[in-house]
Structure formats: structure tokens, C-alpha cells
Amino acid sequence: MCANLVSVVMQVIGGVPVSPETASGETSGNMYLGNFCLLVNTFAMACYYILAKKLVVKYSPIQIAAWAYIVAASLMGFSSLIFTSHTDWHFPHSLFAPLLYWILICSVGGYFLVTWAMKHLPASQVAAFQCLQPFLGSLLAFLVLHEKLSWWDCGAIGVVAGLLLVSLDSKDLQITKAMNRLQLLLQSKAPSAMLGRSISRDKM
Amino acid sequence: MHGIEKSNRNKDNIAHAVGPKLWLCQLAVALTQAGMVVGSVYLKGSLEWVDESKKEVFHPIVFAFAREASAAPILYALSVAYGGYSVPQRRDIVRVASLGAFMFTAHIMYIIGIELSGVIVASCMQPAIPVFTVLMGILLQMETANPQKLSGISLAVAGAICMVRLNEGSSGKISNSAAQFLFSIVRLGIRVCKPCVCGHAGDWWCSSVP
């Protein structure tokens, strides 16, 4: 089983789409490294969703998002010392507004909402909505930039149909609710406190 | 009496765990994804106005650090305002640190991956996130491997990869390799989920899956 899984994972790394710009022999090594980095990115994001699902039962979503961002910001600050030089810190004035948007809407609002939704939905369902990004991107391009649609955009039907299948899976949602209740009961101190009082009363 | 009050408070927590309407949660996640798409377009559009004559430089790691370092205190202030000053319990410190480490790893690997492999490859890889999430959820026994959920995720992932501007004229190689990549991801998922699904769906599923 493990050997099969390793072989399939290696096929994934090797089978990732080749960009025409980086298809030369000199950059093929960098490309495989890039493919591996992107695979690690997707795996790390999945681990984030799973771990956040475990923590959100105990703590409030805003606390989890705050603590995660504090750790991530510290690590990113350390990385920026390694990967950047002093010339890279001349921040463009034109990017202050997008930065503000990313801070308030995507980071603060976005991660809080995702963590809040994780409290009530299965982690896989929250992650499945990631597939909305290419759909919304194409929709924006069509409506705002008046770009022409291609036959590949019929994938939007798959995205919407897939998300409807996942969202309307009532059995999965019932199991998630039941697991949330069970975890809250297990973490409840009231039964042990009542048990302690009854033991002390018996001793008296 | 104190124990009974705590018991009632726990019942309230349990009632709250049933929670708001599910469509609200799903809408919240969908709006988050929409916000990120708009943010990407906004950032890409603003890059055209970077003035290199004034030695202005856009470095993605600097941008990511500025974003995270600014968002962290805002989120912490909101968490203190909402629930008071709090720290994770000692036994959860490793989990919380790991959560932050996973977030950092995801962000920095995405930045490096885009630099080395390109935007198209990065866009093709993103739909793999729900696949890995459902696989880990099933392996850790946090979720069930029911056919409806697995079919929905496979369909959404396939649709998303199709939509990543795989134009036949410019990148036939990309179309073929993207299909191979998708097939590999789905094959990995089937190999992991097959034992779990067989318990639910019976022999007809097991006999149809290679």
C-alpha cells in the first residue's frame, strides 16, 4: 500500500503541467523543484484545514486565526531576512491599496470566515470551495474584461455540480454535527465536577 | 448548583454547535474565495504602476510578510475584544504552532512554486487542496468516505482544472500533462479511499474501481 502511494505521488510530481516558458533543458531542474514546492503548498493548506477543524471545537475561530497568523508572520519575517536584500524593501506606492485590501478582506475577513465555517462544516467541504477560484476568475474576465469564453470554460458546470453535490450531502453534515457534540461533551468539566462532589458527600 | 449551571452552559454550547444555517457558512466560504480572486486581479492590475525608475520593487515575500505582519495584530485585537485575553492551553501549543507553520509553508511554497514553475502550473495544482483534505480527513477518521462527497469533490476538481485556460492552440502539452496530473491525483484518492468506500457502497463500487 505504502509503495503504491509513493509511486503515485511521484507520478503526480512528474506529471504536473509543463509551462512552455520553462520547458528548456536548463530550467527543467528548477521546474521539478517548483512542482514539488507547489505540491507541498497544496499539502500544507490541506493540513491547515484539518488542524483548524480540530482546534475550532475548543477555541473561538477568531482566536485560532489570530494565533495562526502570529506564528506565520514570525516565520515569514525570518524568511524575508534570508530571501531578500535591502533593495527589495522599496515598497511601491501603487501597491499600498492592494496591500490594504489583502490585509483587511483576504487575511482578516477571509481567514476568520473560513475558520468560522470550519466550526459547522466538514473540512473537505470548506476546502472544496477552493475550486470556485478559477470559476469566479473566468466569470469576472467575461463580465468585466469581456473576454471570450472557450470550450474549456464548460468546466464551470463541473465545478458548480461538484460543489452542489458536496454542499447537499446531508449525511456528512449530520456526522459533523454529531462529532462536534461528542467532542464538546468529552471536553465538558461538569460531569467530573459533579462526580467529585458526590464522592465527597459519600465520604462525609 | 454550580455544576448544574455549568451543565446548562455546556448544553447552550452544544445547541450552538448545531449552529447557524449551513447555507450561511457555505456562502461565507464562497465569498472568501471571491474576495481572493478579486484581490489577485487587483494586485496584478496594480503591478503595472510599479515605477522602477524610482527603484520601486515588488518582491512577493516582502508583500506576504507585510500582509501577515499587519493582519496578525488586527486579528489578535479582535480576538481580545471578542473573548478577552487568552492563550492556548499548554497541551495545544504544539498544535497552534503547527497551524501557523502550515499557513506559512503554504504561502511561501506557493510564492517559490510560481517563481520556478509558472502561474499555469500553480493554478492547476490548487484544486488538489480539497483532494488532499478529504484524503487526510478519511485517514484520520475525521470524515466518512461516502460516494456523494467523493464524486462531488472529483467533479469540482476536474471542472476547475479544465477552466485554467487550457487553450488547445498554445499548450497541447499542458492539456495532456494536466490530464495526467488529474488522473494521478484521482488514482491516489481512489487507492486510499477504496477500503473505506467499500464498507459503505458494497461490492458494485469495489468491482468498478481499478
- Contact check, Cβ <8 Å, B25/A129: no
Chain centroid to CA A15:
23
Q: What is the pLDDT of residue B193?
A: 56
B181 reaches A (C-beta below 8 A): yes
Quick one: which of B124, B44, B74, B202 has its CA closest to A130?
Answer: B124
Which residues in chain B are closer than 8 Å to A115, comparing Cβ atoms?
none
Cβ(B107)–Cβ(A97) under 8 Å? no
| Tally of CB atoms within 10 A around B166 | 23
- Is the CB of A193 inside 8 Å of chain B's CB atoms? yes
Cell output for A39: 505540491
Pair A129, B127: CB distance under 8 Å: no
Q: What pLDDT is recorded for position A27?
A: 61
- Residue B14: the pLDDT is 45
Q: Return the residue of B nearest to A42 by Cα.
A: B129
* Cβ atoms of residues B123 and B152 within 8 Å: no
Q: Which of the residues in chain B have pLDDT under 50?
A: 1, 4-17, 167-175, 178, 197-198, 200-210
Cell of B65: 510578510
Asked if the ipTM is above 0.90, the reply is: no
**Vertex B9 angle, CA B6 and B15, to 5°:** 145
Instruction: Give alpha helix (H) positions in chain B.
Output: 2-18, 22-46, 60-83, 93-117, 119-125, 128-139, 147-163, 172-201, 203-208
pTM listed for this prediction: 0.77
Whether the CB of A71 is below 8 Å from some CB of chain B: the reply is yes
Distance from CA of A47 to the nearest CA of B (A): 7
Task: Answer whether B113 sits within 8 Å of A136, measured CB to CB.
Answer: no
Q: Which residues of chain A have pLDDT under 70?
A: 1-27, 180, 183-184, 187-204
Check residue B106 and give its pLDDT.
94
Which positions 120-159 of B are in contact with A (Cβ < 8 Å)?
Answer: 120-130, 132-137, 140, 142-144, 146, 148-149, 151-159
Which run of H or of E encompasses B17? helix B2-18
Interface contact A142, partner B, CB < 8 A: no
Name residues whose C-beta falls within 8 Å of residue A182's C-beta, 6 or more positions apart in sequence: none
Cβ A69–B20 below 8 Å, yes or no?
A: no
Q: What values do phi and psi take at A44, rounded to 5?
A: -65, -40
A78 part of contact set with chain B, CB < 8 Å: no
Yes or no: say if B117 and A127 are a contact pair by the CB < 8 Å rule.
no
